[in-house]
Chain A
Amino acid sequence: MKRKIGVYICHCGSNIAGYLDVKKTTAYAATLPYVVVARDYQFMCSDPGQDMIKNDIKELGLNGVLVCSCSPTLHLRTFREACAEAGLNPHLCEMATIRELCSWVHSHERENATEKAMALIAAGVRRVLYRNPLETKWAPVTPNTLIVGAGIAGIQTALEIAGAGNKVYLVEKEPSIGGRMAQLGKTFPSLDSTSDMLIPQMEAVQANKNIELLTNSEITEVSGYIGNFKVTIKKKPRSVDEAKCNGCGECWAKCPVEVPSEFDRGMSKRKAIYIPFAKAIPKIPVIDRKTCKFFLDGSCHVCADVCPTKAIDFKQAEETVKAEIGACIVSTGYDTFDPTPITQLGYGKLENVVTSPEFERMLSPDGPTGGNIVLKNGTAPKAVAIAHCVGSRDQNYFQYCSRVCCMYSLKYSRLLKKLLGHDTNVYQMYIDMRCFGKGHEEFYKSASDEGVNFIRGKIGQVTNIPQSDEEKGKLIVVCEDTLLGTMIRVPVDMVVLSVAMKPRTDMEEVARTFLLGRSADGFFLERHPKLDPVGTMLDGVFAVGCCQGPKDISDTVAQATGAAARALALISKGKVEMEAATASVDEEVCAGCGYCEAICQYSAVEVDPKRKVAVVNEAVCKGCGACAATCPSKAMQLKNFGQKQLIDVIDEATKEYAGLAR
């Protein structure tokens, strides 16, 4: 087949045309072998630009197209779709990146930029020349979705997807769903009670027949690809038969073992058989085998004796559930920073220096203090200092802003004034007030109108050593009022540390299980910060909520709803396009050494044990080319990226240097 190639050079407004000679480049492209037409246009990606390509394909019978413009990640799909519409196999369309690689990086050297663009175009024409039409393949989509983590993000996503009539596996590591939001007292900026919002959602999850709730469970293995994942879920033993238990509470009332409650941040005690909090869902207790006396020395089995339904099952073993899913949503949430290493703040040494999660538990009506703010001696504080940015915006700990601390600190001050009276002195030691959300600035204004004292400056020290009579028996916050330029000493009864949100400690495990990337801050990396903030580098896997970065409840819910839409779009389409440029094996050359099998990240290559040749599973292959690069005998080649093709393109692009060498 004689090749007829069309070359299209984009001005990209003045992005390209402003920095290199488009006319000269176009004239040069027209002289290249097999090129039958070379044109330039203002915006190739616009409708008239695309129509230009379509017309040429129809009228001139082009069988190869090279668009010279931006990066292929931006517009390759656009141009391939245009070619397909005109009846050309989309794999015969290629791009040469003359914007990012020429005009942007050589903006002060017009001559050189033009020359480089010409070299790239010549090489691009070679690339098109060797391209073969490939068949686009489709795979079906399993209409089930897996959601990992049942905090507000997971709950919201599950309800959206299940509400559309699709099956959802909602997997939660803890014995109850609800996540971090269940630990909060009230929310900003409306000061609504968290449980008023969350509990109905949690109940809706339990009542929804499309949601299979797997609490006290973890994902151990994920394999497959978009639309067709296979997951293995490990159900840790509860030691309580879920079918028999009616949640009456006899067992945890009688259990003699008391340990600090994780849910209440160690501020109250729970039993060895327990539900994390009163409104837990499912309301089925779990036995903590590390502290239960039966498991330690077999000396106690009170719970089994008192249980009216005989639901206690000490012999319950770990269960494994296998599920086939189409999309996966990771919403594993965050941890909070432990401020003990910041010794000057006195956390852990001074009484009444508490962290924000502990303070949240105090504010919760179902918390250890019944919603009362009290000091260790049981009295109410008269003055409270709130330290912002503990761990956040700090090169020693976390460089990023945790985005919610300013607002919850304001919430604390307003609640303090509300609960303890207007004469309670509240001090905010802040660096910057960042109240950017809807209604947030107004909330800040209300707080300052209520007489909250704002002191711009990071706390230097919290001490209990008084320098005057009125400081006796108080905590003294020493910091600089940077607005005035003087050091100040503030005697208070309580210090609340607004600690940073940080990636969960098991982040790395989850990242490895799902093959997710992590950004510099340690959270999961989104595919694109602006245009795909819920997608991840692995197709069909989405990251939502605070596992992707710190955010407040409203942002989390917005993102969760977005991820649900993405999963539903996948399900409703019913099929996914497979990578066409997969690896292929020349079975006559292959020696079956297995290097390719070892290097493949997607488990797409296996060596057939009988024939001793590598076999590529085209449905799984992503076309990354690792196997082709590894193959010692060059038996493994990537379609359209064969060795000859690549070498020839490089030769063309670097021919002037080759000439110099000779």
Chain B
Amino acid sequence: MTVQLVTEKGKEKCDPAFTKEVMERSHSHLERCYQCIACSSGCPGAYQMDYPPHQLLRMVQLGLKDRVLDSNTFWICLSCETCATRCPNDIEIVLVMDALREIALKEGRKGTTKLPLFHATFLYMVKMFGKVYELGLILVYTIFSGNILKLKGLMRDAVLGVKMFMRGKLAILPPRVKGKAQIKRIFQLSSKTG
């Protein structure tokens, strides 16, 4: 599709190669989408997104690369698969979101959200301890994201942390897991295949 959009930002070019790449990476027929909006109306995270999923799909169809990759939509996506389950056209929207994350990381897009950092920290914890270590995760994320300078947020997190601890939901020490070596191997192999 070589279409030009006239928006408040001026003129935007459409990039058909981007559409093709997303379709290939996600193995989904996203050209089938006829905008019934079932995905967005069931999405638990849509209220936080720059564009709800159906609009993001339309933008991918049109090849609006910059708008799509600079949005927070695919980072916020919880991969709960409600959208894909309900999609009448059988589009694997979650796979589309994954593909967009991959492309964004590959191209080093910063975006406006700190969510990539959260994902990276999460994976680092799994790599280190074999499963997620909540306290470590939140400490590392708070420091690296710069949230440590925001006192109000920090206090809220601390209060929540104490509450969770009282109910036995938060461990002080990292978890112990059997087969850490295998998990490390998984990470090694997957980093090789990309």
Which positions in A face B, CB cutoff 8 Å? 383, 425, 427, 433, 445, 448-449, 451, 453-454, 456, 468, 470-471, 481, 483-484, 486-491
Instruction: Check A489 against B4 for contact (C-beta < 8 Å).
Output: yes
User: B2's contact among A451, A454, A470, A486, by CB below 8 Å, is which?
Assistant: A470
Q: Which of A383, A453, A470, A487 has the most CB of B within 10 A?
A: A453
Instruction: Check B55 against A489 for contact (C-beta < 8 Å).
Output: no
Instruction: Check B59 against A449 for contact (C-beta < 8 Å).
Output: no
> Which residue on A lies nearest to B8, using beta carbons?
A486
Instruction: Check A448 against B2 for contact (C-beta < 8 Å).
Output: no
Tell me whether A383 and B62 are in contact in the complex, defined as CB-CB below 8 angstroms, given that A448-B32, A484-B55 are known contacts.
Answer: no
Give the chain B neighbours of A489 by CB distance below 8 A: 3-6
Give the chain B neighbours of A490 by CB distance below 8 A: 2-4
- Interface size (B, Cβ < 8 Å)? 19
A454 to B62, CA, bound (A): 10
A489 to B7, CA, bound (A): 11
Within 8 A of A (CB), among B1-40: 1-7, 11, 29, 31-32, 34-35
Instruction: Check A486 against B5 for contact (C-beta < 8 Å).
Output: yes
Instruction: Check B1 against A484 for contact (C-beta < 8 Å).
Output: no
Tell me whether A433 and B6 are in contact in the complex, defined as CB-CB below 8 angstroms, given that A425-B1, A484-B58 are known contacts.
Answer: no
A470 to B14, CA, bound (A): 13
Instruction: Check B7 against A487 for contact (C-beta < 8 Å).
Output: yes
User: A488's contact among B5, B29, B31, by CB below 8 Å, is which?
Assistant: B5
Question: What distance in Å separates the Cβ of A5 from its nearest Cβ neighbour in chain B?
Answer: 61
Question: What distance in Å separates the Cβ of A430 from its nearest Cβ neighbour in chain B?
Answer: 10
Known: A484-B59, A486-B6, A490-B2; 14 extra A-B contacts, CB below 8 A, are: A425-B2, A427-B3, A448-B31, A448-B32, A451-B31, A456-B35, A468-B11, A471-B4, A481-B62, A484-B5, A487-B5, A488-B3, A488-B4, A488-B62
Q: Which of B3, B5, B11, B31 has the most CB of A within 10 A?
A: B3
> Which residue on A lies nearest to B12, using beta carbons?
A486
> Which residue on A lies nearest to B54, using beta carbons?
A483
A182 to B130, CA, bound (A): 72
Give the chain B neighbours of A487 by CB distance below 8 A: 5-7
> Which residue on B lies nearest to A382, using beta carbons?
B2
Question: What distance in Å separates the Cβ of A622 from its nearest Cβ neighbour in chain B?
Answer: 52
Instruction: Check A433 against B59 for contact (C-beta < 8 Å).
Output: no
Which positions in B face A, CB cutoff 8 Å? 1-7, 11, 29, 31-32, 34-35, 55, 58-59, 61-62, 89
A448 to B34, CA, bound (A): 9
A456 to B62, CA, bound (A): 12
A448 to B33, CA, bound (A): 9
Question: What distance in Å separates the Cβ of A627 from its nearest Cβ neighbour in chain B?
Answer: 60
Question: What distance in Å separates the Cβ of B15 from its nearest Cβ neighbour in chain A?
Answer: 13
Give the chain A neighbours of B4 by CB distance below 8 A: 468, 471, 488-491
Question: What distance in Å separates the Cβ of A471 from its nearest Cβ neighbour in chain B?
Answer: 8
> Which residue on B lies nearest to A433, using beta carbons?
B34
> Which residue on B lies nearest to A489, using beta carbons?
B4
Instruction: Check A484 against B2 for contact (C-beta < 8 Å).
Output: no
Give the chain B neighbours of A454 by CB distance below 8 A: 34
A451 to B4, CA, bound (A): 18
Give the chain B neighbours of A491 by CB distance below 8 A: 2, 4
Question: What distance in Å separates the Cβ of B93 from its nearest Cβ neighbour in chain A?
Answer: 16
Give the chain A neighbours of B2 by CB distance below 8 A: 383, 425, 470, 490-491
A453 to B59, CA, bound (A): 12
A433 to B32, CA, bound (A): 13
Instruction: Check B35 against A483 for contact (C-beta < 8 Å).
Output: yes
Instruction: Check B7 against A486 for contact (C-beta < 8 Å).
Output: yes
Question: What distance in Å separates the Cβ of A388 from its nearest Cβ neighbour in chain B?
Answer: 14
Instruction: Check A445 against B32 for contact (C-beta < 8 Å).
Output: yes
A456 to B55, CA, bound (A): 13
Instruction: Check A449 against B3 for contact (C-beta < 8 Å).
Output: no
Give the chain B neighbours of A448 by CB distance below 8 A: 29, 31-32, 34
Q: Pull 30 A–B residue pairs with CB atoms less than 8 Å apart, ordered by A.
A: A425-B1, A427-B1, A433-B34, A445-B32, A445-B89, A448-B29, A448-B32, A448-B34, A449-B29, A449-B31, A451-B31, A453-B3, A454-B34, A468-B4, A468-B11, A470-B2, A481-B5, A481-B58, A483-B35, A484-B58, A486-B6, A487-B7, A488-B6, A488-B62, A489-B3, A489-B5, A489-B6, A490-B2, A490-B3, A491-B4
The 10 lowest CB-CB distance pairs between A and B, nearest first, are: A487-B6, A489-B4, A483-B35, A486-B7, A483-B58, A448-B32, A490-B3, A486-B5, A453-B1, A488-B3
Give the chain A neighbours of B29 by CB distance below 8 A: 448-449
A484 to B64, CA, bound (A): 11
Instruction: Check A449 against B7 for contact (C-beta < 8 Å).
Output: no
Question: What distance in Å separates the Cβ of B191 from its nearest Cβ neighbour in chain A?
Answer: 35
> Which residue on B lies nearest to A456, using beta carbons?
B35
A481 to B64, CA, bound (A): 13
A471 to B13, CA, bound (A): 13
A490 to B31, CA, bound (A): 18
> Which residue on A lies nearest to B23, using beta carbons?
A451
Question: What distance in Å separates the Cβ of B30 from its nearest Cβ neighbour in chain A?
Answer: 10
> Which residue on A lies nearest to B19, using beta carbons?
A451
Question: What distance in Å separates the Cβ of B88 from its nearest Cβ neighbour in chain A?
Answer: 11
Question: What distance in Å separates the Cβ of B74 from its nearest Cβ neighbour in chain A?
Answer: 17
A448 to B1, CA, bound (A): 13
Give the chain B neighbours of A425 by CB distance below 8 A: 1-2
A425 to B89, CA, bound (A): 22
> Which residue on A lies nearest to B7, using beta carbons?
A486
Give the chain B neighbours of A483 by CB distance below 8 A: 35, 55, 58
Give the chain A neighbours of B31 by CB distance below 8 A: 448-449, 451
Give the chain A neighbours of B59 by CB distance below 8 A: 484
Give the chain B neighbours of A484 by CB distance below 8 A: 5, 55, 58-59, 62
Question: What distance in Å separates the Cβ of B181 from its nearest Cβ neighbour in chain A?
Answer: 46
Give the chain B neighbours of A471 by CB distance below 8 A: 4
A449 to B35, CA, bound (A): 15
Give the chain A neighbours of B7 by CB distance below 8 A: 486-487
A453 to B34, CA, bound (A): 11
Give the chain B neighbours of A470 by CB distance below 8 A: 2
A470 to B59, CA, bound (A): 21
Q: Which of B4, B5, B31, B89 has the most CB of A within 10 A?
A: B4
> Which residue on B lies nearest to A480, using beta carbons?
B6
Question: What distance in Å separates the Cβ of B12 from its nearest Cβ neighbour in chain A?
Answer: 8
Question: What distance in Å separates the Cβ of B49 from its nearest Cβ neighbour in chain A?
Answer: 15
Give the chain B neighbours of A449 by CB distance below 8 A: 29, 31-32
Q: Which of A425, A453, A483 has the most CB of B within 10 A?
A: A483
A453 to B35, CA, bound (A): 13
> Which residue on B lies nearest to A471, using beta carbons?
B4
A491 to B2, CA, bound (A): 8
Question: What distance in Å separates the Cβ of B23 from its nearest Cβ neighbour in chain A?
Answer: 10
Give the chain A neighbours of B61 by CB distance below 8 A: 453
Give the chain B neighbours of A445 by CB distance below 8 A: 32, 89
Give the chain A neighbours of B34 by CB distance below 8 A: 433, 448, 454
A468 to B61, CA, bound (A): 23
A486 to B4, CA, bound (A): 10
A470 to B2, CA, bound (A): 10
Question: What distance in Å separates the Cβ of A440 from its nearest Cβ neighbour in chain B?
Answer: 14
A490 to B3, CA, bound (A): 5
Give the chain B neighbours of A427 by CB distance below 8 A: 1, 3
A29 to B101, CA, bound (A): 81
A267 to B34, CA, bound (A): 36
Give the chain A neighbours of B89 by CB distance below 8 A: 445
A427 to B4, CA, bound (A): 13
A487 to B62, CA, bound (A): 12
